[in-house]
């Protein structure tokens, strides 16, 4: 089968020399890949000229809807992807992480796009910054999509997840992408990509695919482009230092393989639940994807005196792990991705053995259901380094396969030092039931890690494990791990956007952001805003209410009704004694309630429900005899999708300011209401 590239809106077969891709289990040819003949400069320009404008014309909510639709489309066809993935040597569990996990990132970012971003083409970030004493000059940060192309260079170990976890935040940001999977497993990526194109869900030019070499693609990057790389640290550094990347200050996110560690806490001795959890996690990380994950445990750091117990327990589990063809019942670990990987892992392991003795592995081993010589099989290998502080090899050399080194520590400070010698890791884990140990170790190793898992018997049942990156948490790490971040919820989206500080008058910023800024023009009329539909309401519409004088009787009744009899509300002398109040004060929540009584229009109308209250601050106490008034202003409007048979509606955010008789603010907050939209 000859793989095709998807370029300039067409499926194109590469010309010239092809790379033959082999079945990891049988060694038989699976496909041929070539990108010969592609015009990489034209592909980049096509993405910028065609895909970019179409994506940027959509709001975050519309882009989120596309992600959800695509996720559903792919999920309905996932069985076909599993069948193709089997040729990589992946077990069903391995493929689940790659395929279902990858599709899951689209679902996750679809949800996040609707919840955390506006129904706008851009994002307003953070509060208004006051830049002048009189309030006529203010600042705000906006985030707009880059007007270039995102180039995604992915690794061979996760041909589906690697593509989708980068595409999800990129497309949500409104930026088109060119996907370059690792050639060795690109046939899996191509199979899923074909379904993405066949769905016709994404706008033209939103995504393109290169199966084979990326050629001179990076020579054509501009200051508006971004590159995201996953792979070896050496390759990543080479690409990051390429002249066009440096000259144009191209955003370059690097997620590199690292020497991740697992630390066994001193309290987690043999016989404890934590010890058993630790052993299970280490073995799982050694055998999942045959150890070919960027987050796999490469260094197992255990208390001095527990090494023998740890090695014995790991050996017992590994001896029960059947290696072979994943299609055979009982096989729990498949082959590496290719025979070349077998050679590379073996060579790296041999270099590590200069500082460590092999305690598990080596020699002949049985392969179930396949020919060991034809497939890319590698026996799990465990080593022991007695002097981890005196030897650098286990901390510097990574064997990208089922290879792990056990090393002892004599104190928590020593364990922390060993973890840090990885010079930057994607993730690390600590197994302990002692909160003091967890605090010391986490704070000690956090500067060197992108993510840390603390595992104990309480979290074990629902824990996703040491090596599982999640869409809502950052995936990346400092130093050797590349210094980048992927996913991480909204952070991953903002990586593909330009943050710009905008300065001007409150009215100008309101016009730009479509979000009312204090000090901007306000509009009042005879119609109460609660009588207006979502479509009739305009940002800046304001209601200034009548007044209400707060009495001592109000405070007493609210205390009885709510049960809140805090001394400052109930006793003059005690209230004065705290040095803050002049006497008894009204409950803050009563002031909020009284404010609602002033601004609510009670009759049946377009307002359907109170949706929430945010950013409440009580800025000045209210005493018996004080008179309050409310200013209610439409701050922002967000239309909601209408469910089938539902009522068309939108969310209106109202800026609320409660003032006293001296016009001093006593309470500031926002309320959210669901408001009926026009038919």
From the candidates 165, 190, 255, 657, give the one annotated as an active-site residue: 255
406 and 277, same structural domain?
yes
pLDDT, residue 433, reads: 95
Q: Is 294 a catalytic residue?
A: yes
- Positive or negative torsion for Cα 152, 156, 157, 158: positive
Rounded Cα gap, residues 400 and 336, in angstroms: 9
Q: Do residues 244 and 316 share a domain?
A: no
Least confident among 220-224, 331-335, 558-562, 662-666 = 331-335
Among 360-364, 387-391, 533-537, where is mean pLDDT lowest? 360-364
Examine the domain organization and report whether 293 and 242 are in the same domain: no
Q: Which of these ranges, 100-104, 269-273, 307-311, 521-525, has the smallest mean pLDDT?
A: 521-525
Beta strands in 104-195 (DSSP E): 123-130, 138-145, 150-153, 177-180
Residues 98/288, Cβ–Cβ less than 8 Å: no
What is the average per-residue pLDDT within 517-542? 92
Percent of residues, the chain, with pLDDT higher than 70? 100
Q: Which domain holds residue 77?
A: 4-123+143-254
Report, as an integer, the average pLDDT of 562-584: 92
Indicate whether 430 belongs to any domain: no
Distance CA 514, CA 529 (A): 18
**Domain CATH for 319:** 3.40.309.10
**Per-residue model confidence as pLDDT tens digits over 344-358:** 999 999 999 999 999
In a shared domain, residues 272 and 239: no
Sequential DSSP letters for 449-510: EEEEEEE-TTTTTT---TT---TTSEEEESGGG-SEEEETTHHHHHTTEEEEEEEE-HHHHH
Q: Of 143, 160, 294, 427, which residue is the catalytic one?
A: 294
Report field, pTM of the whole predicted structure over 0.85: yes
- What is the Cα–Cα distance from 630 to 665, expressed in whole angstroms? 10
For residues 306 and 270, the answer to whether their CB atoms sit within 8 Å is yes
- Output the pLDDT for position 208: 98
Q: Which pLDDT does position 371 carry in this prediction?
A: 85
Give me 368's structure tokens: 């179930």
4 vs 7, 30, 211, CA distance in Å?
Answer: 9, 14, 7
Which residue, among 301, 291, 416, has the nearest Cα to 348 in the 3D structure? 291
Residue 52 · residue 175 · CB < 8 Å: yes
Both 184 and 302 in a single domain? no
Q: Strand order of the sheet with strand 10-13?
A: 10-13, 4-7, 207-209, 177-180, 150-153, 226-231, 251-256
Mean pLDDT, residues 324-334: 88
The pair of three-digit structure tokens given for residue 155, joined into one six-digit string = 């690794």
Same domain, 391 and 530: no
* CA distance linking residue 590 with residue 162, whole number of Å: 52
E runs forming strands in 279-402: 297-303, 322-323, 331-333, 357-360, 381-384
Q: What is the pLDDT of residue 641?
A: 78
The residue from 207, 236, 254 where one domain ends is: 254
Dihedral, CA of residue 2, residue 5, residue 6 and residue 7, to nearest 10: -140
Residue 614 located in a structural domain: yes
- Predicted confidence band of residue 643 (pLDDT cuts 50, 70, 90): confident
Both structure tokens of 441: 């170790």
The C-alpha atoms of residue 487 and residue 469 are separated, in whole angstroms, by 9
Q: Does the pLDDT value for residue 645 go beyond 80?
A: no
Do residues 274 and 378 both lie within one domain?
A: yes
By DSSP bridging, strand 297-303 and strand 403-409 are parallel
**For residues 244 and 224, what is the distance between their CA atoms, to the nearest angstrom?**
12
Q: Beta-carbon neighbour count of residue 267 at 10 Å?
A: 16
Mean of the pLDDT values across residues 224-235?
91
For residues 204 and 155, give the distance between their C-alpha atoms in angstroms, rounded to a whole number. 26
Q: Mean pLDDT, to the nearest integer, of 106-121?
A: 92
Last residue of a domain, one of 423, 457, 480: 423
Q: What is the 3-state secondary structure (H, E, C) of 54-86?
A: HHHCCCHHHHHHHHHHHHHHHHCCHHHHHHHHH
Q: Give residue 363's region: left, alpha or beta (phi > 0; psi -120 to 50).
A: left
Find out whether 455 and 437 touch, Cβ atoms under 8 Å: no
In a domain, 29, yes or no: yes
CA atoms within 13 A on the CB side of 161: 25
Q: What is the pLDDT of residue 93?
A: 86
**Do residue 187 and residue 299 come from a single domain?**
no
How many domains are there within the chain?
Answer: 3
* 278 and 207 co-located in one domain: no
In a domain, 225, yes or no: yes
Last residue of a domain, one of 207, 232, 254: 254
Q: Is 190 a catalytic residue?
A: no
What pLDDT is stored for residue 339 in this prediction? 86
Question: Is 510 a residue whose pLDDT tops 90?
Answer: yes
pLDDT tens across 142-182, in order? 999 999 999 999 988 889 999 999 999 999 999 999 999 99
Is residue 648 in a domain?
A: yes
What does the pLDDT read at residue 679? 62
**pLDDT exceeds 90 at position 646:** no
- pLDDT above 70: residue 381: yes
Q: What CATH code is carried by the domain that includes residue 598?
A: 3.10.129.10
Residue at 474 is within a domain = no
User: Does residue 267 sit in the same domain as residue 247?
Assistant: no
DSSP calls for 235-265: HHHHHHT-HHHHHTT-EEEEEE---EEEEE-
Chain segment 92-105, per-residue pLDDT in tens = 888 988 999 999 99
Q: Which of 103, 122, 108, 100 lies closest to 64 in space, CA to CA?
A: 108
Whichever domain contains 50, its CATH number is 3.40.605.10
DSSP string, 579-630: SS-SS----HHHHHHHHHHHH---SSSSEEEEEEEEEEEE-S---TT-EEEE
Mean pLDDT of the chain: 93
Residue 14 lies in a domain: yes
For 585-608, how does the pLDDT look when each residue is reduced to its tens digit (9 = 90+)?
A: 999 999 999 999 999 999 998 999
- Cα dihedral angle (340, 341, 343, 347), rounded to 10 degrees? 140
Per-residue pLDDT tens for 434-472? 999 999 999 999 999 999 999 999 998 988 888 888 889
Give the DSSP letter of residue 49.
I
CA 270 to chain centre: 36
Looking at the fold, whether 210 and 229 belong to one and the same domain comes out as yes
What was the pLDDT predicted at 83? 92
Q: Are residues 669 and 619 in the same domain?
A: yes
Confidence of residue 41 (pLDDT cuts 50, 70, 90): very high
């Amino acid at each position: 089968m000859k793989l095709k590239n998807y370029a300039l809106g067409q499926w194109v077969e590469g010309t010239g020399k092809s790379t033959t891709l082999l079945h990891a289990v049988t060694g038989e040819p699976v496909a041929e890949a070539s990108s010969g003949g592609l015009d990489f400069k034209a592909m980049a320009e096509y993405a910028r000229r065609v895909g970019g404008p179409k994506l940027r014309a959509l709001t975050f909510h519309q882009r989120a809807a596309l992600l959800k639709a695509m996720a559903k489309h792919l999920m309905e066809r996932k069985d076909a992807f599993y069948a193709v993935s089997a040729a990589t040597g992946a077990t069903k569990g391995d493929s689940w992480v790659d395929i279902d996990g990858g599709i899951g990132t689209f679902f996750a970012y679809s949800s996040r796009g609707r919840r955390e971003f506006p129904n706008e083409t851009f994002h307003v970030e953070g509060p208004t910054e006051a830049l002048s004493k009189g309030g006529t000059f203010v600042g705000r940060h906006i985030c707009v999509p880059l007007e270039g192309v995102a180039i995604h260079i992915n690794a061979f170990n996760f041909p589906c997840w690697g593509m989708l976890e980068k595409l999800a935040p990129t497309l949500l940001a409104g930026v088109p992408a060119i996907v370059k999977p690792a050639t060795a497993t690109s046939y899996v990526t191509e199979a899923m990509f074909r379904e993405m194109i066949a769905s016709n869900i994404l706008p033209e030019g939103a995504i393109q695919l290169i199966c084979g070499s990326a050629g001179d693609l990076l020579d054509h990057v501009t200051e508006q482009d971004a590159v995201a790389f996953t792979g070896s640290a050496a390759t990543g550094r080479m690409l990051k230092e390429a002249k066009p990347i440096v000259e144009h200050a191209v955003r370059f996110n690097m997620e590199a393989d690292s020497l991740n560690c697992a630390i066994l806490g001193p309290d987690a001795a043999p016989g404890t639940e934590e010890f058993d959890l630790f052993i299970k996690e280490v073995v799982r990380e050694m055998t999942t994807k045959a150890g070919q994950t960027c987050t796999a445990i490469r260094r197992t750091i255990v208390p001095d005196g527990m090494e023998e117990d740890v090695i014995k327990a790991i050996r017992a589990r590994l001896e029960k792990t059947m290696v072979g063809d994943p299609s055979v019942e009982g096989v729990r670990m498949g082959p590496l991705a290719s025979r070349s990987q077998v050679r590379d892992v073996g060579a790296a392991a041999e270099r590590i053995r200069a500082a460590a003795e092999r305690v598990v592995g080596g020699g002949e081993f049985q392969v179930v259901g396949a020919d060991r010589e034809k497939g890319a099989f590698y026996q799990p290998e465990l080593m022991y380094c007695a002097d981890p502080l005196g030897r650098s090899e286990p901390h510097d050399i990574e064997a990208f396969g089922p290879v792990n080194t056990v090393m002892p520590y004599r104190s928590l400070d020593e364990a922390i030092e060993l973890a840090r010698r990885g010079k930057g890791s994607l993730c690390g884990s600590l197994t302990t039931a002692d909160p003091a140990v967890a605090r010391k170790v986490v704070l000690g190793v956090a500067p060197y890690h992108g993510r840390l898992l603390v595992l104990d018997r309480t979290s074990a049942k629902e824990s996703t494990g040491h090596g599982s990156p999640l869409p809502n948490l950052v995936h990346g790490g400092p130093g050797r791990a590349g210094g980048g971040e992927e996913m991480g919820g909204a952070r991953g989206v903002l990586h593909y956007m330009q943050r710009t500080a905008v300065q001007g008058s409150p009215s100008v910023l309101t016009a730009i952001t479509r979000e009312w800024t204090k000090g901007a023009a306000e509009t009042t009329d005879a119609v109460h805003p609660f009588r207006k539909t979502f479509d009739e309401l305009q940002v800046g519409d304001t209601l200034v209410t009548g007044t209400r004088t707060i009495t001592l009787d109000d405070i007493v009744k609210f205390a009885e009704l709510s049960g809140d009899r805090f001394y400052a509300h109930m006793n003059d002398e005690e209230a004065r004694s705290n040095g803050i109040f002049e006497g008894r004060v009204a409950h803050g929540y009563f002031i909020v309630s009284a404010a609602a009584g002033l601004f609510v229009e009670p009759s049946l109308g377009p307002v359907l429900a109170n949706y929430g209250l945010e950013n409440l601050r009580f800025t000045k106490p209210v005493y018996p005899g004080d008179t309050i008034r409310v200013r209610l202003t439409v701050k922002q409007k967000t239309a909601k999708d209408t469910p089938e048979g539902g009522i068309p509606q939108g969310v209106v955010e109202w800026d609320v300011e409660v003032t006293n008789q001296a016009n001093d603010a006593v309470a500031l907050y926002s309320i959210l209401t669901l408001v009926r939209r026009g038919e």
